[in-house]
């Protein structure tokens, strides 16, 4: 996960068919009434669309699928939510389906890396022929393309932008301004001190960090081209941001006591949205997939206004290698299973889901020709009073917010390297191992994995 952002950030096959059993993509023929001739008749097919929607997201997805079916009445689409609201567990379940030989039609995956990792195992269908048949150039269509060698494997579905959500009422109470681009993680720590109140079960924390790797090293996950590799193909786990942010996390939990302890979050299996909207925490780093949430007071009951700020930048002396002051952007991808029996129908669905100008779309599009600012207006329509709209637009569209080019190298070992980050963080936060020893261990383990798996260029 790169954002939540990189974290971080986010949806996702058995087929029934009739007609020629040897080629289910070929229309069957039936006699035309009265003339003795045959004319093509489109085959009625059923395909499945897999993702990890939560309850609110599933409504939007179903709406888009219904729009697709209305335009393509011979293609029925079943929506299968593998694990609601959890992309990590969704990938685990997907891998089980792939290994069991189940026919996969179309699936949404949370990141570029999650597509490439499975594409190299032969799980996904190359899209080159389909693009050629439609006279499409992928680089003209999408910001980020999943590519191995010369083969394309994914279409960008969503465009990720990270930001910090803040309880505006709490900011006003503390006399704090909504931050602008350039505030640092040291500033974030000071804000958390001033926003923390109370003790015991009634305590309100200034900050909440969830359990994903996005929250283990936010600068690396939000301000570097790739969350695992430098441009030269070596591990980024040697980066100075790791020591800085690990120590920041521990300092906020143990010294400042302004962020809920990592051990407690793991033990209680807390939900990050609940922590924020229940006013257990005043600030949380997250991504633009949460834009509908402040206005969704039925699912997340609250009466405060939500403000937004760009992701803090690392302070001087702790910047990532080759730091440019720009943010990472990627997003979820849609891929086609190599085992799909209805690949033409699957490609049609992929293109519709990634390019349609639909009122049911709930997240920014990775399609270059989409109007994401217009989408924002739709997403918050009628609920504007729950948003600090100016800060939201600033955090998303301000000229101060610039984005990095795509990474030139990538690894397929995303799950293995994510585990190294998680294990290293746990060693430091839970076992109190020295940070220098932990980082050296992480670099050694990551280097072994990268050398074994290689890199994609």
145, 175: one domain: no
Rounded CA separation 149/377 (Å):
39
Contact 246, 258 (CB under 8 A): no
418, 434: one domain: yes
- pLDDT, tens only, 221-250: 999 989 999 989 999 999 999 999 999 999
Strand 45-51 and strand 75-81: pairing? Answer: parallel
Rg (CA), the chain: 23
- pLDDT, tens only, 100-133: 999 999 999 998 888 988 998 999 999 999 999 9
190, 241: one domain: yes
The partner residues of 165 in beta bridges, in order of sequence, read: 284, 308
Domain membership flag for residue 271? yes
Domain membership flag for residue 60? yes
Domain membership flag for residue 375? no
Between 300 and 1, whose confidence is greater?
A: 300
**Residue 7 confidence (pLDDT) above 90:** no
**Residue numbers of the domain that contains 102:** 43-160+330-370
Domain membership flag for residue 398? no
pTM: 0.73
Q: What is the pLDDT of residue 406?
A: 67
Domain membership flag for residue 5? no
Average pLDDT, the chain: 89
How many angstroms separate the most distant Cα atoms in the chain?
A: 86
Rounded CA separation 305/328 (Å):
27
142, 176: one domain: no
pLDDT band at 1 (very low <50, low <70, confident <90, very high): very low
Q: What is the pLDDT of residue 37?
A: 45
State the average pLDDT over residues 281-299. Answer: 95
CATH code at position 89: 3.40.190.10
Domain membership flag for residue 450? yes
**Residue 17 confidence (pLDDT) above 80:** no
State the average pLDDT over residues 277-298. Answer: 95
Percentage, residues of the chain above pLDDT 90: 75
119, 155: one domain: yes
Number of domains in the chain: 2
116, 177: one domain: no
203, 290: one domain: yes
pLDDT band at 193 (very low <50, low <70, confident <90, very high): very high
Phi-psi region of 259 (alpha: psi -120 to 50; beta: other; left: phi over 0): beta
- pLDDT, tens only, 347-401: 999 999 999 999 898 889 999 899 899 989 988 999 999 999 999 999 999 999 9
135, 179: one domain: no
282, 155: one domain: no
Domain membership flag for residue 204? yes
119, 189: one domain: no
């Amino acid at each position: 996960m790169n954002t939540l952002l990189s974290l971080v950030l986010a949806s996702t096959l058995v087929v029934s068919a009739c007609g020629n059993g040897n080629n289910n993509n070929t229309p069957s023929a039936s006699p035309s009434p009265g003339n003795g001739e045959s004319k093509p008749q489109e085959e009625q097919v059923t395909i499945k669309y897999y993702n990890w929607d939560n309850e609110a997201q599933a409504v939007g997805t179903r709406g888009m699928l219904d729009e697709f079916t209305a335009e393509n009445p011979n293609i029925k689409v079943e929506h299968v939510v593998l694990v609601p609201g959890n992309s990590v567990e969704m990938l685990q379940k997907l891998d089980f389906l792939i290994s069991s030989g189940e026919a996969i039609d179309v699936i949404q995956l949370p990141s570029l890396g999650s597509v490439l990792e499975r594409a190299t195992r032969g799980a996904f269908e190359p899209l080159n022929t389909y693009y050629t048949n439609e006279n499409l150039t992928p680089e003209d269509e999408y910001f980020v393309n999943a590519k191995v060698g010369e083969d394309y494997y994914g279409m960008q579905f969503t465009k990720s932008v990270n930001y910090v959500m803040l309880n505006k009422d709490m900011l006003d109470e503390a006399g704090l301004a909504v931050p602008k681009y350039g505030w640092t993680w040291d500033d974030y720590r000071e804000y958390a001190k001033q926003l923390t109140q109370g003790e015991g079960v009634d305590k309100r924390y200034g900050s909440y960090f969830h359990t994903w790797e996005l929250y283990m090293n936010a600068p690396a996950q939000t301000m570097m081209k790739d969350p695992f590799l430098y441009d030269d193909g070596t591990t980024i786990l040697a980066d100075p941001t790791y020591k800085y942010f690990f120590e920041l996390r521990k300092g906020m939990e143990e010294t400042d006591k302004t962020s809920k302890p990592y051990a407690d979050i793991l033990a209680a299996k807390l939900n990050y949205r609940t922590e924020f909207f229940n006013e257990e925490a005043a600030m949380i780093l997250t991504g633009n997939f949460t834009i509908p949430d402040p206005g969704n007071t039925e699912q997340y009951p609250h009466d405060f206004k939500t403000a937004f700020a760009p992701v803090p930048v690392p302070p001087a002396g702790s910047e990532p290698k080759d730091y440019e002051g720009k943010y990472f952007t990627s997003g979820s991808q849609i891929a086609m299973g190599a085992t799909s029996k209805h690949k033409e129908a699957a490609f049609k669905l992929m293109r519709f889901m990634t390019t349609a100008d639909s009122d049911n779309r709930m997240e920014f599009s990775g399609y270059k020709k989409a109007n994401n600012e217009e989408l924002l207006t739709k997403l918050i329509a009628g609920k504007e009073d729950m948003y600090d709209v100016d800060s939201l637009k600033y955090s998303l569209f301000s000229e101060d917010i610039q984005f990095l080019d795509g990474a030139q190298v990538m690894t397929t070992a995303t799950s293995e390297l994510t585990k190294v980050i998680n294990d290293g963080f746990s060693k430091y936060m839970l076992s109190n191992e020295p940070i220098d020893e932990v980082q050296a261990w992480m670099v050694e383990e990551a280097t072994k994995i990268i050398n074994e798996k290689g890199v994609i260029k």
